[in-house]
Amino acid sequence: MARKLPVLETSGALRHDGSRRVIHPADVHGRFNTARKALFYALVAIMLSLPWIKINGNPAVLLDIPARRFFLFGGTFNAQDGAMLFFVLIAIAWALVTITTLAGRVWCGWSCPQTVFLEGLFRPIERLVLGNANKRIAQDTQPATAGLVVKKAIVHVLWFAAAALVAHAVVSFFVPPQTLARFIPRGPSSSPTTFLWSAAFTGVIYFNFAWFREQTCLIVCPYGRLQSALVDKDSLTVGYDKRRGEPRGKAADKEKSPESFGDCVDCKRCVVVCPTGIDIRNGPQLDCIGCTACIDACDEVMDKLHRPRGLVRYDSLNGLDGDKKRIVRPRVLAYALAGLALFSAGTCAFRARKDFVANVLRVQGAPYTLEGDTVRNAFELHVVNKRNDTSVYLIEPVAQGTVRFVVPLTRISLGPFADARAPVFVVSQRGNPAGDFVAQLRVRRDGAPANETITVSAPCLAPGR
Ligand code: SF4
Ligand code: SF4
pLDDT at 461: 63
Which pairs count as long-range contacts for 217-226, CB under 8 Å and 24+ apart, including other chains? 217/108, 217/114, 217/276, 217/287, 217/289, 218/11, 218/13, 218/276, 218/286, 218/287, 221/114, 223/96, 223/107, 223/108, 224/105, 224/108, 224/286, 224/289, 225/286
> How many whole angstroms separate alpha carbon 153 and alpha carbon 157?
6
Banded model confidence at residue 110, pLDDT cuts 50, 70, 90: very high
> How many whole angstroms separate alpha carbon 16 and alpha carbon 37?
33
pLDDT at 1: 43
> How many whole angstroms separate alpha carbon 15 and alpha carbon 88?
41
Residues 329/423, Cβ–Cβ less than 8 Å: no
> How many whole angstroms separate alpha carbon 164 and alpha carbon 171?
10
Banded model confidence at residue 450, pLDDT cuts 50, 70, 90: low
Counting ligand 1 atoms within 8 A of each CB, the residue from 288, 300, 313 with the most, and so the one to mutate, is: 288
Cβ(320) to ligand 2 under 6 A?
no
Instruction: State pLDDT tens for residues 370-411.
Output: 888 888 888 899 999 988 889 999 998 887 777 888 889 999
Given the CA of residue 281, which atom of ligand 2 is nearest to it? 7
The protein residue whose alpha carbon is closest to atom 5 in ligand 1 is: 288
Residues 325/319, Cβ–Cβ less than 8 Å: yes
Counting ligand 2 atoms within 8 A of each CB, the residue from 32, 274, 311 with the most, and so the one to mutate, is: 311
Instruction: State pLDDT tens for residues 284-299.
Output: 998 999 999 999 999 9
Cβ(312) to ligand 2 under 6 A?
yes
- Percentage of the chain surpassing pLDDT 90? 61
Pocket of ligand 1 (CB under 6 A): 238, 273-276, 278, 280, 288-294
Residues 263/245, Cβ–Cβ less than 8 Å: yes
Given the CA of residue 297, which atom of ligand 2 is nearest to it? 1
> How many whole angstroms separate alpha carbon 191 and alpha carbon 66?
13
Across 28-32, 115-119, 378-382, least confident range: 378-382
**Cα-Cα-Cα-Cα dihedral of 76, 79, 85, 87, to 10°?**
-80
Given the CA of residue 273, which atom of ligand 1 is nearest to it? 7
Across 53-62, 116-125, 207-216, 454-463, least confident range: 454-463
Residue 64 has pLDDT above 50, yes or no: yes
Banded model confidence at residue 458, pLDDT cuts 50, 70, 90: low
Average pLDDT, rounded, for the chain:
90
What type of residue is 265? V
Banded model confidence at residue 465, pLDDT cuts 50, 70, 90: very low
Q: Which residues lie below 8 Å from residue 206, measured CB to CB, with a gap of 6+?
A: 159, 160, 163
- Mean pLDDT (whole number) for 449-461: 68
Residues 21/14, Cβ–Cβ less than 8 Å: yes
Q: Looking at the chain, how many residues does it have?
A: 465
Banded model confidence at residue 71, pLDDT cuts 50, 70, 90: very high
- Mean pLDDT (whole number) for 110-117: 97
pLDDT at 306: 95
Instruction: State pLDDT tens for residues 250-309.
Output: 989 888 888 899 999 999 999 999 999 999 999 999 899 999 999 999 999 999 999 999
Banded model confidence at residue 10, pLDDT cuts 50, 70, 90: low
Residue 43 has pLDDT above 90, yes or no: yes
> How many whole angstroms separate alpha carbon 344 and alpha carbon 432?
46
> How many whole angstroms separate alpha carbon 442 and alpha carbon 451?
7
Across 137-141, 205-209, 255-259, least confident range: 255-259
Ligand nearest to the CA of 314: 1
Banded model confidence at residue 426, pLDDT cuts 50, 70, 90: confident
Cβ(445) to ligand 2 under 6 A?
no
**Cα-Cα-Cα-Cα dihedral of 383, 387, 391, 392, to 10°?**
-30
Residue 238 has pLDDT above 60, yes or no: yes
pLDDT at 239: 97
Domains and CATH numbers, the chain: 10-353 (no CATH), 356-457 (2.60.40.2310)
Counting ligand 1 atoms within 8 A of each CB, the residue from 240, 278, 299 with the most, and so the one to mutate, is: 278
Local structure of 405: helix, strand or coil: strand
pLDDT at 440: 85
Q: Is the peptide bond before 124 cis (omega within 30 degrees of 0)?
A: no
